Amino acid sequence: METFTYLNIRPISSEEERLKVYEEAEKDGDRQPLMPTHVVTKGSDIVGAFCLFSPTVYWWMHTKKVKGRESLSIFQSMSALLANEGINKFVLPCEPESPYFPLLSKTLSHHSGTEGGDWRLFLNEN
């Protein structure tokens, strides 16, 4: 547990606490944190949350050599492999320009972010 003067950052201790994080985020302009693992409090107020470890799948498929049905089969296999590891919720980044974007848009839920825009992934490479 880290304390920065009046801020407290600690792992989320229960599903009840995770629900409180979602409730507070929703009150703040309908924000929707993804899979939070840690809560940030200021006094007794929840003021933030973040996810240290999220199941995220980075992928590539050839745009000319893999057909639609094949890509669906590949995605189903990927989901089954994750499910075998007990992972049923994961992040799958995809650029809107990708030929696979329409398929993913039809078959998976989309987290558009609070402002409704597409997400950009930033890499911190220390």
CB 11 within 8 A of CB 22: no
Q: How confident is the model at residue 2 (pLDDT cuts 50, 70, 90)?
A: low
* Residue 107, C-beta contacts closer than 8 angstroms, at least 6 positions apart: 72, 75
pLDDT tens, position by position, 105-114: 888 887 766 6
What mean pLDDT comes out for the span 60-67?
90
Paired with 46 in beta bridges are: 41
pLDDT of residue 74: 92
pLDDT at 92 over 80: yes
pLDDT at 3 over 60: no
Residue keyed to tokens 């609070």: 114
What mean pLDDT comes out for the span 30-53?
93
Residue of 19, 12, 8, 10 whose CA lies nearest to 45: 8
What integer best gives the mean pLDDT of the chain?
A: 87
pLDDT of residue 20: 97
pLDDT of residue 110: 78
| Structural domain spans, the chain | 2-50, 55-114
pLDDT of residue 30: 83
Overall pTM > 0.85: no
pLDDT at 120 over 90: no
